[in-house]
């Protein structure tokens, strides 16, 4: 692994990922494709994209500097979804790092690449709006049919217990642990009292 003092601006860095350890051939194919694309350094790991801790991705992102190019074979190798992808790309763009997605022939250093990312961002926002609209319609229907009760108000139901614990000198973290209510809810109950 390169040390920070050995890093030169303009590096082409790749990232390869497969979901499971039995996909060795898939990982090797990605690494080969990244090397053909000019990557002088490739970070790779075999871990699910839903795993919050992807150490090699973090290492790659930490390594990148202004003027570098970050290359992945496909967007799903880098991100959990469109929103995650756009967040990673936006962070890198702010740091002066170009992103190339080989399968889409997308390069954020070009006007076309920027346009495609803008369209993707619009689609992600649209999808989120549609999902929320469907959720609201489902809730309204369930309420109309008398099937929707909403989330039980944890803190209000436990207000007596919260007050008793506070009077006993318990700290907020101790009250959270004992009641299961959130800190904010506990503060609301205490303020109302």
Across the chain, what does the average pLDDT equal? 85
Tell me the pLDDT tens digit for each residue of 37-90. Answer: 999 999 999 887 666 688 999 999 999 999 999 999 998 888 877 778 888 999
Residue spans per domain, the chain: 4-112, 154-192
Q: Enter the pTM of the model.
A: 0.62
**Catalytic residue status for 19:** yes
CATH T-level topology, domain 4-112:
Rossmann fold (3.40.50)
Instruction: Report the percentage of the chain scoring pLDDT > 90.
Output: 32
Annotated active-site residue in 19, 44, 49, 182? 19
Query: For the stretch 43-76, what's the b/e string if a residue is b when 16 or more beta carbons lie within 10 angstroms of its beta carbon?
Result: bbbbbebeeeebebbeebbebbbeebbbbbbebe
């Amino acid at each position: 692994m390169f040390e920070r003092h050995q890093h030169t601006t303009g590096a082409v860095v790749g990232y390869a990922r497969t979901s499971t350890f039995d996909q060795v051939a898939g990982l090797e194919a990605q690494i080969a494709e990244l090397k053909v694309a000019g990557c002088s350094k490739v970070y790779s790991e075999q871990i699910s994209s839903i795993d919050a801790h992807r150490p090699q991705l973090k290492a790659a992102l930490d390594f990148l500097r202004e003027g570098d190019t970050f290359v992945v074979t496909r967007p799903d190798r880098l991100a959990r979804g469109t929103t995650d992808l756009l967040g990673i790309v936006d962070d890198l763009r702010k740091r002066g790092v170009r992103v190339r997605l080989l399968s889409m022939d997308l390069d954020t250093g070009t006007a076309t690449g920027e346009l495609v990312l803008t369209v993707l961002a619009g689609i992600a926002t649209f999808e989120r709006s549609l999902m929320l609209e469907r959720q609201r319609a489902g809730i309204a229907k369930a309420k109309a049919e008398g099937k929707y009760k909403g989330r039980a108000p944890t803190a209000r139901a436990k207000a007596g217990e919260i007050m008793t614990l506070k009077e006993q000198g318990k700290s907020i973290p101790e009250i959270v642990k004992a009641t299961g209510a959130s800190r904010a809810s506990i503060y609301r109950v205490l303020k109302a009292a």
